[in-house]
Amino acid sequence: MMRVLRFLRVLIQALRLTLQGEALTPTRYRPLASWIARGLTLVERAESSAAGQRFDLAALQLKLDGRPTSLERTLQMVRHNLVNEYPRLMRLDDAYSMMVVSASNMNDQYRVAQFLEAGEIPAETRAALAALEAHLQALPPPPPDEPESESKQARTRR
């Protein structure tokens, strides 16, 4: 009877999340999910501080990796990774997911750092970008591998 009640509770929770368009984050990825949420807040803070100072993010351009890139585009790429790519990789949850997250994050951090070296950024926006860069440098460590179940081990031995 207890198993049936537990099953019903989990089923109701799953239905509620599905109807809301959300997914349950695996426990091992919760530090990464928190890191992503904080990163989004910092991107929004950088954009709003630039808007508050009437600083045109699209006007500041640097040549990065051989291509001209604006600060506006860089922040859009960071946001895209935080909103789309990293959650998709968490759901995929294969052996290379965290490696891809780490590599993409390293690119984002590099781009933000290059813009910070440019001297044309107002102080408040610079502080917001510095906070974002520090956050990007603090990517949580990869979650530990989950032990394989006995049935999965038996299938791989065959």
| Rounded-to-integer distance, Cα 137 and Cα 102, Å | 10
Q: What is the pLDDT of residues 21-31, one digit of tens each?
A: 666 566 667 88
- Determine, yes or no, domain membership for 84: yes
Q: What is the pLDDT of residues 41-78, one digit of tens each?
A: 999 999 999 999 999 999 999 999 899 999 999 999 99
- Determine, yes or no, domain membership for 5: no
Question: Which residues form the domain of 47?
Answer: 34-141
Residue 5: pLDDT band (50, 70, 90) is confident
Is pLDDT of 151 > 50? no
Instruction: Say if CB 27 and CB 146 are below 8 A apart.
Output: no
- Determine, yes or no, domain membership for 157: no
Domain count, the chain: 1
pTM (two decimals)? 0.76
Average pLDDT of the segment spanning 13-22: 73
Q: Quick one: how far is CA 134 from the chain centroid?
A: 14
Q: What does the buried/exposed string (b/e) look like for 78-112 if buried means 16 or more CB atoms within 10 Å of the residue's CB?
A: bbebbeeebbebbeeeeeebbeebeebbebbbebb
